[in-house]
Amino acid sequence: MKRLKIASQTPSRRGVNTSRFKESIEDWVPRTPLGRMVLEGKITSIGEVFNQGYKIYEPEIVDYLIPELRQEVLDVNLIQKQTDAGEKTRFKSLVIVGNHDGYFGLGSGRHVQTRKAIEKATIDAKLNIFPVRRGCGSWICGCGEPHSLPFKVTGKCGSVRVELIPGPKGLGIVSGETAKTIIAFAGIKDCWTRSHGSTKTVPSFAFATADALMNTYRIVSPQDWAR
């Protein structure tokens, strides 16, 4: 029975995904109890993972449960460090993943090769996947549809503070490019943003925005996670 369930899901997955997904998923041998439950079809949605309070330790779980997941590189930076052996150069990359429908993750990775730094950041982003509570918290709008945020949220990272404010339908995301991409990946279409601190540092600004989005669920009890 369980096998059948998995098989019946395969066609839609094939339609959405690239060969990269097939490669990683077909050889996937789960290393955690959650991974095994996902592969055996005992857990079939990402919502269940959060409702039951599991922590994700394998990126394949996210690939498996959110086949329509997209990713984008937000930033790649060269970082140089003085060591005893001389100067050490590495790349630091920032990647956003999301389904544009209530789930997103932000991650970073470092490596001497750009490609590897992006790979590491993508894995990190998948492990950081988190639900976003959406709603229509704008008194101007009041349509009741989940196109914006249900209420105002604030996020912090270092000295950067980002505020996300519900907006009316059709407003769009009023913010700089980095925050706009992150908010859109989470599935929010309309909101205002306000920021304080050194917002020019892309990673801090990005993580403060992610923190604000995560606060849509963090400030309520886990029972509210049920949809």
Given the rule CB under 5 A, which residues bind Zn ion? 136, 141, 143, 169
Dihedral sign for Cα 203, 209, 213, 214, please. positive
Return the H-helix or E-strand segment holding 202: helix 202-218
Work out how close the CB of 131 gets to Zn ion at its nearest, in angstroms, rounded to a whole number: 20
**Least distance (Å) from Zn ion to the CB of residue 227?**
19
CB of 148 or CB of 175, closer to Zn ion: 148
Nearer to Zn ion, 53 or 144 (CB): 144
Q: 141 or 191, CB closer to Zn ion? A: 141
Q: How many beta carbons lie within 10 A of that of residue 21, not counting itself?
A: 17
* Strands ordered across the beta sheet of 130-131: 70-83, 86-98, 103-111, 130-131
Q: How far is the CB of 193 from Zn ion (least distance, A)?
A: 17
Q: What angle do CA 193, 198, 200 make, to 5 degrees?
A: 80
Q: How far is the CB of 139 from Zn ion (least distance, A)?
A: 10
Cα–Cα distance for residue pair 116/200, rounded to 1 Å:
25
Q: How far apart are CA 189 and CA 146, in angstroms?
A: 9
The nearer residue to Zn ion, 38 or 141, going by C-beta atoms, is 141
Tell the smallest beta-carbon distance from residue 37 to Zn ion (Å): 37
